[in-house]
């Protein structure tokens, strides 16, 4: 079976390919990236693949049985790009798509869920077999910026006491590889970490590990939006992040099914471990 992975030069794609090589013959793995040179070190076949160039997709998908579609990071036309990939997969005779969606995408009111919901609908209408991985929030969405929070003296957000059940990027990447390698795996999987926490609890863990008090400052949404924009984030993207915090109060980024850990055959990365890795 030939398995191709889009976005192979990104952090999730690279980790997924590394794990996939332990599950299946590397000769049957194709790394798809805008610049194939950036994935030459992965030890698998590399092909040029650009979400914005539909006319070139067919050649890149030749002989592919399973296509892993890692969602585009382009918020301007993400659905359009996904549609082009799915249509190219149909034309190339791809049998199955594995798509990285978001937790509870079919019913979530979060702004970020809209593109995923539309993409899932396009996949369903395509008639292709599909495995939909509805990933929760990434722990790295917070831990990657801990340095700035520590320097500023506080972790900020607008999530109040909302409970999240995020997972580490490597958890989601390994799950992606496991599903991609299993040709018979189809359906929807809601994936999240086993350990839930609030942002105040995240701040407390950072305080424990650094020995420095780091409070969590909960802000009104409009204040948080303004601060994010002052850090250089585009207004639209800042608005998506604020909306995530606000909607998290309703449980849209929490899941206690344990599906991810069962899929991995091991516990998901704990908060203390993720914080230690970020601080290290």
- List domains and CATH numbers for the chain: 3-136+168-192+257-265 (3.40.50.720)
90 is written with which tokens? 């149909």
Query: Does pLDDT of 75 surpass 90?
Result: no
Please report the pLDDT score of residue 222 as a whole number: 97
Q: What is the DSSP letter of 167?
A: B
Q: Rounded to whole angstroms, how far apart are CA atoms 187 and 85? A: 19
Closest alpha carbon to 278 in 147, 127, 119: 147
pTM assigned to the model = 0.96
Please report the pLDDT score of residue 245 as a whole number: 97
Query: Does pLDDT of 97 surpass 90?
Result: yes
- Give the three-state DSSP class for 262: helix
Closest alpha carbon to 34 in 11, 51, 14, 15: 51
**What is the per-residue pLDDT across 123-176, written as a single tens digit (0 to 9) for each?**
999 999 999 999 999 999 999 999 999 999 999 999 999 999 999 999 999 999
Please report the pLDDT score of residue 74 as a whole number: 85
Please report the pLDDT score of residue 277 as a whole number: 96
């Amino acid at each position: 079976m030939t398995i191709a992975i889009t976005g192979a030069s990104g952090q999730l794609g690279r980790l997924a390919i590394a794990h996939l090589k332990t599950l299946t013959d590397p000769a049957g793995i194709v790394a798809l990236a805008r610049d194939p040179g950036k994935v030459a070190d992965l030890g698998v076949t590399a092909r040029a693949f650009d979400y914005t160039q539909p006319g070139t997709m067919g050649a890149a998908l030749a002989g592919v049985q399973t296509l892993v579609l890692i969602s585009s990071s382009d918020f301007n036309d993400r659905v359009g790009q996904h549609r082009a990939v799915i249509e190219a997969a149909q034309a190339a005779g791809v049998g199955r798509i594995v798509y990285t969606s978001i937790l509870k995408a079919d019913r979530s009111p979060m702004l970020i869920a809209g593109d995923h919901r539309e993409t899932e609908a396009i996949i369903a209408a395509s008639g292709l077999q599909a495995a939909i991985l509805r990933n929760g929030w990434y722990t790295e969405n917070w831990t990657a910026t801990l340095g700035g929070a520590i320097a500023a003296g506080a972790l900020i957000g607008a999530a109040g006491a909302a409970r999240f059940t995020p997972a580490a990027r490597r958890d989601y990447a390994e799950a992606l590889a496991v599903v991609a390698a299993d040709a018979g795996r189809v359906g929807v999987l809601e994936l999240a970490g086993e350990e839930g926490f609030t942002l105040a609890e995240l701040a407390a863990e950072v305080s424990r590990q650094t020995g420095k008090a780091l409070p969590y400052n909960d802000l009104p949404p409009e204040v948080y939006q303004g601060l994010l924009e002052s850090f250089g984030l585009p207004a639209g993207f800042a608005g998506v992040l604020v909306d995530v915090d606000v909607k998290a109060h309703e449980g849209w980024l929490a899941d206690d099914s344990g599906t991810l850990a069962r899929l991995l055959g091991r516990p998901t990365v704990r908060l203390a471990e993720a914080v230690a890795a970020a601080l290290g």
